[in-house]
Chains A and B, each alone.
Chain A
């Protein structure tokens, strides 16, 4: 828990020192696991946020960084498990925390319009922390993944310097450390501030 708390604080503090002539998006993020992630925690995540910073290199292209945090959680009813020669039965609480940190670039189709579609791609790293709690014990696994992240979305320019952003991202973290590949899709809604 302490690990997660300090990482979250670092993410928030790191995001609050952005320079001017740029765009910063703060979005609420909902996650949907795929592959091994979905097998481990079938439930969707409604606890997450992303902070995206872009510096405009020209009118159509922005380059910057993304950081985020998504928490997947599920309460698994009591069930039977077998590990080697031991069979055990009980309830499990499963947690999967993901902290993506990427460099990214977006292409904005027509930035002068009120509705601006865009596509983007990010590459970077993601720290994943997985905890399976059963009885008084927790079984923990973590890994730093290499991650690729395509994105598609729309920005609504509501007023001068402020807008709304809706986007969909897919994070794919390659197999690393104790964990298999971690893949999940997100739907993000939030505000955009243009400086």
Chain B
């Protein structure tokens, strides 16, 4: 009897602890992350002007095949570009037109990545032949899409040996996308990217 109680206690304690294993995030906003990197040898203080387009390009693999670039909806792009411009102004930068010889070019872009994962129902062998069996394990699948906003500063006069521009600063905000535009998340990512980059301050 004592050994039976002991064995049951062991098994129950294992499952109890497994059931108490901590979970992770509860909300998708908690998964948002902001990254920045910069060229440490570049003198941002000596620069004062920048140019930025009035559209935001979607980064896809089709451009390399000669397809026309895609852009995010203009209304959404305007909100994002205005926020970027506000942060740049706060750091002492002056926005000029691209044909006015700016010191730096700010190129914004967005990237969407969809992850699809699937799994086989390994229990199918148990419920067959009581339920329909299609000759192979049933497959279940789910997916999620992440979005990344990229902001890159390049110096049009500072090019690599092969003529490609060198990224002097990159700011990125990444998170799981929802069906609606969440201004708080986007603005928070943009503001935080500039907060992490005090070396961009020119004044």
- Report A's interface with B, CB cutoff 8 A: 4-5, 8-9, 11-12, 15-16, 18, 24, 26, 28, 47-49, 51, 69, 71, 73, 80, 85-91, 93, 95, 133-136, 161-162, 191, 193, 195
> Is the pair A93, B196 in contact by a Cβ cutoff of 8 Å?
no
Q: How far is the CA of A87 from the CA of B197 in the complex (A)?
A: 9
With known contacts A49-B13, A87-B196, A88-B33, A24–B6 Cβ distance under 8 A: yes
Question: In the complex, what's the smallest C-beta–C-beta distance from B25 to chain A, in angstroms?
Answer: 7
**Looking at the complex, which one of B9, B10, B17 makes contact with A47 (CB distance below 8 Å)?**
B17
Q: How far is the CA of A191 from the CA of B98 in the complex (A)?
A: 77
Chain B, Cβ-Cβ closest to A24: B6
Q: How far is the CA of A193 from the CA of B31 in the complex (A)?
A: 47
Asked if B14 is at the interface (CB within 8 A of a chain A CB), the reply is yes
Interface contacts (Cβ under 8 Å), in number, total: 89
Stretch of B35-43, B101-109, B128-136, B152-160 contacting A (4+ beta carbons < 8 Å): B35-43
> Is the pair A91, B34 in contact by a Cβ cutoff of 8 Å?
no
With known contacts A8-B14, A86-B36, A161–B22 Cβ distance under 8 A: no
**Looking at the complex, which one of A5, A15, A87 makes contact with B10 (CB distance below 8 Å)?**
A15
Residues of B within 8 A of A134 (CB): 33
> Is the pair B6, A80 in contact by a Cβ cutoff of 8 Å?
no
B interface majority secondary structure: mixed
Q: How far is the CA of A8 from the CA of B11 in the complex (A)?
A: 10
> Is the pair B24, A135 in contact by a Cβ cutoff of 8 Å?
no
Q: How far is the CA of A12 from the CA of B10 in the complex (A)?
A: 6
* Interchain Cβ contacts under 8 Å between A and B, 11 examples: A4-B21, A16-B6, A16-B10, A51-B10, A71-B21, A85-B37, A90-B32, A135-B33, A161-B2, A162-B2, A193-B5
> Is the pair B37, A8 in contact by a Cβ cutoff of 8 Å?
no
Question: In the complex, what's the smallest C-beta–C-beta distance from B88 to chain A, in angstroms?
Answer: 18
Q: How far is the CA of A157 from the CA of B40 in the complex (A)?
A: 68
Q: How far is the CA of A186 from the CA of B143 in the complex (A)?
A: 41
Q: How far is the CA of A26 from the CA of B11 in the complex (A)?
A: 11
Chain A, Cβ-Cβ closest to B115: A136
Closest 8 CB pairs of A and B: A90-B33, A12-B14, A73-B22, A135-B33, A88-B35, A16-B7, A89-B34, A86-B37
